[in-house]
Amino acid sequence: MTDEIGRREFIKRGTVAGAIVATGLPAAATVARAATLPGPASNSIAPDTPAANAVHPALAARHLDSKEFCLSEYDALRPALTFSATNKSDANSWQPRARTRLIERLGGFPSTRAPLNAEVLESKDFGSYTREKLVFDTRTNLSTIGYLLLPKAGKRPLPAIVCVSGHGRGLPDILGLDDEGNPRAERNVGYAKEYALQCVEHGYAVLAIEQLAFGTRRDDAARKAGPQVESCRPAACAAVLLGQTMGGWRVWDAMRAIDYLETRPEVDSARIATLGASGGGTTSLFTAAVDERVKVAVVSAYFNTFRDSIMSISHCPDNYVPGLLQDMEMYDLSGLVAPRALFVESGRNDRIFPIAGSQTAAGKAREIYAAFGVPDRFGYEIHDGAHEVHLVGAFDFLSRRL
């Protein structure tokens, strides 16, 4: 996968547009003229020769690359709420202003919490843990599916983790289910590697919720297209038209999942974490940034700079929060989690959240946690994989912080 089109390739792909510039003819006339040009047997220039690919002298000093333009706009920004505190007092003063602004950028949350109307649809015993399939309302006009996994061992009440999936099949990917909803025999499948199962096997209560536009919460067109097809694009774009964001919708769902966990006697509501990879990592980070009930956040295959990831490489529109860079970069969100604990892991070979951007963001996060006086509450691990979970250091971190 190539992250950008070079200048030569840009000109090559725009030969007709180049002809319009060179001739000054209207588009229709230029296309008609091109259709009458001599064929290959003539003296015409072959499309892949150096002469055909040469940059017109008048264009050489111009700025035609869309990515270069975006990055120049980024470089000119001075985010209004970037973290600059050097001590705990200033850091604490910064947080309320930055959190309020982040919620505004996400599109805001409902002013009241709708009744959950939670219902257990089925219960199953898997030997070392039980699994309940749930449905509950997150808004008056929106519901989600969840699975509550409870280990049989361990002292009650249990620490709990809200697990949110990334792109793919939704809940089946993090629960180890096949397309018919049955447990798979294979393990470590795909980039998610059944991380909800991994959590319950490490002794945590787990509430795995279906993110909006994945799995059971897709639109009809996506459901008909197959289990791997999500409906993020139409829903995320509709959110922007409404002045809201897919990120805000998913964060609110995760917050309502915490509301549900607080109703369960098996769960210690003072020890709740969020965990997710890729698009699930997005929700884990943003939820912890706005909801102080999250004691620990684990973010896999996501934490980076916006500049090096979703601004420079094509991503699903559900990643974008309009105007957010006017206020802060991704690493500033760690300042909204602090002094609560945050663990980040990144693959050395992740091609859509590049390791250089991850290292830059982690370095900034370390400085932020040091300003809060709790440098040990930020953890960072680089593994040798690609865009995938690892969770080796993460579970060690959770055992100490949750």
pLDDT band at 290 (very low <50, low <70, confident <90, very high): very high
pLDDT band at 360 (very low <50, low <70, confident <90, very high): very high
The one-letter code for the residue type at 19 is A
Question: E strands along 99-182, which residues?
Answer: 119-125, 129-139, 142-151, 158-164
Distance of CA 138 to the CA centre of its chain: 20
Burial annotation 151-173 (CB, 10 A radius, 16+ → b, else e):
beeeeeebbbbbbbbbbbbbbbb
Domains assigned to the chain: 7-64 (no CATH), 103-401 (3.40.50.1820)
With 70 as the cut, is the pLDDT of residue 20 above it?
Answer: no
φ, ψ at 180 (rounded to 5°): -95, 0
- Residue 380, H or E segment: strand 378-383
DSSP 206: E
pLDDT band at 81 (very low <50, low <70, confident <90, very high): very high
How much is the average pLDDT of 48-53? 61
How much is the average pLDDT of 161-178? 96
Q: What is the pLDDT of residue 275?
A: 98
Is the Cβ–Cβ distance between 207 and 261 less than 8 Å?
yes
Q: What is the pLDDT of residue 9?
A: 38
* Structure tokens belonging to residue 4: 């950008």
Q: What is the pLDDT of residue 54?
A: 77
Q: What is the pLDDT of residue 29?
A: 38
pLDDT band at 49 (very low <50, low <70, confident <90, very high): low
pLDDT band at 60 (very low <50, low <70, confident <90, very high): confident
Q: What is the pLDDT of residue 55?
A: 80
Q: What crossing angle do the helices spanning 279-290 and 246-261 adopt, rounded to 10°?
A: 70
State the alpha helices, DSSP H only, in 190-267. Answer: 195-201, 220-225, 232-241, 246-261
How do residues 87-101 score in pLDDT, each as one tens digit? Answer: 999 999 999 999 999
Q: Which of 54-63, 203-212, 356-365 has the lowest mean pLDDT?
A: 54-63
DSSP 317: G
Q: What is the residue-averaged pLDDT of the chain?
A: 90
Q: Which of 8-12, 50-54, 234-238, 244-248 has the lowest mean pLDDT?
A: 8-12
Q: What is the pLDDT of residue 46?
A: 56
How much is the average pLDDT of 108-113? 98
How do residues 199-211 score in pLDDT, each as one tens digit? Answer: 999 999 999 999 9
How do residues 215-233 score in pLDDT, each as one tens digit? Answer: 999 999 999 999 999 999 9
With 80 as the cut, is the pLDDT of residue 270 above it?
Answer: yes
How do residues 367-394 score in pLDDT, each as one tens digit? Answer: 999 999 999 999 999 999 999 999 999 9
How do residues 232-246 score in pLDDT, each as one tens digit? Answer: 999 999 999 999 999
How do residues 25-35 score in pLDDT, each as one tens digit? Answer: 333 333 333 33
Q: Tell me how far apart the alpha carbons of residues 305 and 353 are, in angstroms, rounded to a whole number.
A: 9
**Residue 66 burial class via C-beta count within 10 angstroms: exposed 0-12, middle 13-18, buried 19 and up:** exposed
Q: Tell me how far apart the alpha carbons of residues 332 and 345 are, in angstroms, rounded to a whole number.
A: 17
The reported pTM is 0.87
Q: Tell me how far apart the alpha carbons of residues 304 and 311 are, in angstroms, rounded to a whole number.
A: 11
How much is the average pLDDT of 306-319? 97
Q: What is the pLDDT of residue 40?
A: 41
